[in-house]
Each structure stands twice: as C-alpha cells, then as structure tokens.
Amino acid sequence: MQSSKESQLQIRLITTQEIYAVPDVPLTVPSTIDIKALNQLLNELIKESNPDFLKPKEYDFLAVGEIIRLPLAEHLQEHNVSTESTIDIEYIERIPAPEPEDSILHDDWVSSIETTDKWILSGSYDHSVSIWTSHGKPVAFVKNHTEMVKGVTWISKSDITKGFVSVSHDQSGIIWEWKEGTKEVTPKIHLRGHERGIDSVGVSPDSTKLATGGWDTNLKLWSASLEVDDSGEPSTKKLRGLGKGIYTRVPLHTLNGHKETISAINWIDNHTVCTASMDHTIKFWDCELYGIKNEIIDQKAFLSASWSPLSNTLLATSADRHIRLYDPRSNEGSICKSMFTSHVLWVSCVTWSKYDEHLFLSGSYDSTVKLWDTRSPKAPLYNLQGHEGQVLAVDWSNNKYILSGGTDNSIHIFKNNVLH
C-alpha cells in the first residue's frame, strides 16, 4: 500500500492572465489529480481571492510546456519529471468551442478560400472564383479560367477597390480588381509563364510581389501591381483578343530547384519565400539573390504548409496522417520539433491562426477539421464536424471566423468565440 506522502505532491498554480491570478503558494494535492479536479480547485481559489467571480470558468493546465490530458502523476512520468520537488502548473482560460454558423454551397469542389474583415474569396474546380459576405451571401462570381482554380488570395485588403489573384490548371494566373460590395469584378492582368498547371500562390507581406508554383516545378515571382503602364513596366503588355483593358504579365524571375509539384507557398518576409513540394523537400528562397537559403528534407511528399510570423515556425503536412512543426533556425537536435497525430487519413491542408502563436487548423481527407494548440500534440482542442467529403482548404485569416472547404462542394463557416 502506498503511503499518504507517496500519493501526494506539491504544485504551484501560476498564470500570465492576471485577472485569474491566485496566491503563488505551494499546494498539496493527490498525485492522481486530473483536469476536472484541478478546475474545481482553481475556481475555489479564485473565488476566495476575488469574491466577485461568481461563475466558475473552464481552464487548461500546462506542466513541462504541454497541456495536461492525463492524471498529473502520469503526465509528469511521461516527461520524466520528478514528483519530489514542487511542480509549477500554468493555467489559461480554455478556448470555447467554435460554433457552426453558415454553409456556402458551390457547384463543384472548393479548392481554396481566404477571408478579409468582411469578405470571403473562394476558388472552385468548376473554373470559377467567387466573393461572398462573411455570412455566406453571394456577392460576385467570375469564370474566366478554362480549368480548375487551385489557389486564390487577396492582394489589397483595405482599399475600397480591392485586388486579388487566382491561379489555375489552365497554366495562368489572373489579377482581378473588385469594387467592394458590388458585382463589378474585372480581370486586369493575366500571368503567363508556367508550362503546366499552377497549384499554389502567395502574396508578399507588403503586397508588391506574387509567388506561384505548380506542376512545372518552377517557382515564379511576379509584380502584384494592379496598375499597368506600358512604358514603365516592361513585364506587362496588352494582350490581344481578350478585350479592352486586359494585359498580360510575364514573371520577374523564375527559380529552379524542385523536382516535383510545388504544393504550397508561404512568404516569410518581403524577400524570402518558402515552398513545399511533392519531392519531399521544403525550400527557403532568397528573392534578392535568387537562390536557396535553407532546405528541409523529409521522407514523404509535402501536401501543404503554413508559416507563422508569430512563432517563426512552419507547419507542414505530408502523404500520411501527421502534421509536423519545423523550426528552420534550430541548431539543436532535429528541425522537426513536434508531431500532431489525430487524423485517420492524409492531412490535406493546414493553416496557423494569425492572432495566436499556439493555435492552428488542419483539414483532412477524413472529412474533419481540427483546431489544435501546439502545446497539446497528442490531441486537438476540438473536432469541427460537418463536411461529407474530403477537406481541401482551411482558412483563419479573419480571427472571427474559421473556414473550411472541400469535395462536398461546400464552405463551412465556424464562429470563433475567443478573440485576442
């Protein structure tokens, strides 16, 4: 039989959320204490410190940098932490579950989505690009591509006249101009230069350049300007036969190095682009010297990737069930710092929250979208259900809304109930 001393341990509850702070003193608790009991204990301590807190809240608890999911002693044992000394346990208010809000139906598979403050941009396998309100009401619809649209992204988000770009398997990209809130969407510039279908597109942080990649394995850099001046911009010229005011633009530079399809593009800063490819590599390109700065090599084809400027780390998904977190600056041990496993089929898409360095979304061929915290690699915070087909795209560009699209021809909109 265990002694009472062996079955207890000392903890100290700490938080950076001052509103919920309790006295910073050691507490003796059973070693088998779990999340439910920790929540009960914390709420009692908060009420003692601040009687105005009438309604108990739900908290997550971290020890050794990871959210506790098991009884405390088991969690510490997993991380080889001694229970002899006082254990610091950090607590944070639990993120409430996102709520299903709206659903947008397309005529074909949804391949790409991106929100702004009020608008949703989507690309579809039916060759179309659409603009919707954040509540799913149709605003504008255009169909100038001749093959499936694989990527869409906003170029200018704050102006009344907005610009965005779409890329397609018809080997072209189109820069569009849209007068906000109207049906007036004008194709301004055709991007010509790829020799096979384009799969991915990204716009630089300062909105001056575009990067595209696809099946010809080339990374191409372009001017993102909506302005066209025949004399001042030699890379842009009138395109005959496509109507008044439509121009064609050729790449500023073409960067070679991949051996298979470029599946994802992320701008790290205004001079660095990150590409993920089916050739099992992720490459970081210097867009001033036009060479490779860094490279990550793994065992599988990469399907998607997302860069976080908040944590300076990269999430990537491969032809397996796992999501991997890479730190390209790491000088100690593996560049792969964490692996997140919960999906049961290939993970097709991933994106960071732009507002929280720990949160991200993933979508899979298993029809689920998962909301993760990097401090909980063994289990997601929430499973977002609703899709009846493979999930092909996820987006969290607007902190208020979580979006996903896929082969059931729909975009699902979830309301995010915690705003930073």
Radius of gyration over every alpha carbon of the chain, rounded to an integer in angstroms: 24
Question: DSSP E strands: which ranges in 224-357?
Answer: 236-238, 247-249, 253-255, 262-269, 272-277, 281-286, 291-297, 302-308, 313-318, 322-326, 336-341, 347-352
- Verify that 112 and 79 share a domain, yes or no: no
Q: Yes or no: say if 275 and 260 are a contact pair by the CB < 8 Å rule.
A: no
Indicate whether 88 belongs to any domain. yes
Phi and psi angles of residue 271, each rounded to the nearest 5 degrees, phi first: -125, 5
Give the mean pLDDT of 90-110: 95
3-state secondary structure of 187: strand
Residues 107 and 60 in one domain: no
Which of the pair, 351 or 420, is modelled with greater confidence?
351
Tens-digit pLDDT profile for residues 32-47: 999 999 999 999 999 9
User: Is 341 found in the same domain as 273?
Assistant: yes
Give the mean pLDDT of 353-357. 93
Instruction: Say yes or no: 168 and 222 in one domain.
Output: yes
- The single residue listed with the structure tokens 């230069």 is 193
The verdict on 14 and 139 lying in the same domain is no
Please tell me whether residues 229 and 289 are part of one structural domain. yes
Angle at the Cα of 348 (from 347 to 352), degrees rounded to 5? 85
pLDDT of residue 231: 42
DSSP state of 2: -
Does residue 182 register a pLDDT over 70?
A: yes
85: in domain:
yes
The average pLDDT across 218-242 equals 68
Report which DSSP code applies to 20: G
**Domain membership flag for residue 3:** no
Going by pLDDT thresholds of 50, 70 and 90, the confidence category of residue 161 is: confident
- pLDDT (0 to 100) of residue 288: 93
Given this model, what pLDDT does residue 242 score? 46
52 and 138 together in one domain: no
What is the rounded average pLDDT of the residues 84-100?
93
CA dist 133 and 385 (Å) reads 22
> What is d(CA 196, CA 215) in angstroms, rounded to the nearest whole number?
5
Give a yes or no: residue 274 inside a domain.
yes
For range 75-90, the mean pLDDT: 93
Containing domain of residue 376, as a range?
A: 99-415
Q: Give the pLDDT of residue 166.
A: 98
Domain boundary among 68, 93, 118: 93
Look at 58-62, 244-248, 311-315, 340-344 and tell me which has the smallest mean pLDDT. 244-248
In the chain, what percentage of residues exceed pLDDT 90? 83
Per-residue confidence (pLDDT) for residue 237, from 0 to 100: 56
Both 306 and 263 in one domain: the answer is: yes
Q: Are 49 and 22 in contact (CB under 8 A)?
A: yes
Rounded CA gap, 122 and 131, in Å? Answer: 7
Q: Please, which pLDDT band fits residue 1 given cuts at 50, 70 and 90?
A: very low
Q: Is residue 420 part of a domain?
A: no
Using the predicted structure, report yes or no on whether residue 314 has a pLDDT greater than 50.
yes
What pLDDT score was predicted for residue 236?
56
Residues 69 and 213 in one domain: no
Number of domains in the chain: 2
Indicate if 171 and 294 belong to the same structural domain. Answer: yes
Q: What is the pLDDT of residues 120-160, one digit of tens each?
A: 999 999 999 999 999 999 999 999 999 999 999 999 866 77
Give percent above pLDDT 70 in the chain: 93
Element at 185 (helix H, strand E): strand 185-192
Average pLDDT over residues 176-191: 94
Query: Which of these ranges, 243-257, 290-304, 355-369, has the smallest mean pLDDT?
Result: 243-257
Is residue 2 situated within a structural domain?
no
Q: Both 47 and 117 in a single domain?
A: no
pLDDT surpasses 50 at 205: yes
First to last CA, the chain: 48
Flag whether pLDDT at 329 surpasses 90.
no
**In this model, does residue 232 exceed pLDDT 80?**
no
Average pLDDT over residues 216-222: 98
Is 229 found in the same domain as 184?
yes
Taking the C-alpha atoms of residue 347 and residue 315, their distance in angstroms, rounded to an integer, is: 12
Q: End of a domain among 93, 117, 151?
A: 93
Which amino acid, one-letter code, is at 73? Answer: A
Q: How high is the pLDDT of residue 101? A: 92
CATH number at residue 28: 3.10.20.90
Average pLDDT over all residues of the chain:
92
- pLDDT confidence of 419, banded at 50, 70, 90? low
162 found inside a domain: yes
Worst-scoring range by mean pLDDT, 224-228, 232-236, 275-279?
A: 232-236
Question: Does the pLDDT of residue 54 top 90, yes or no?
Answer: no
More confident residue, 157 or 349: 349
Which CATH number belongs to the domain containing residue 362 in this structure?
A: 2.130.10.10
Q: Is 85 helix (H, G, I), strand (E, B) or coil?
A: coil
Domain boundary among 65, 93, 121: 93
Please check whether residue 1 lies inside any domain of the structure: no
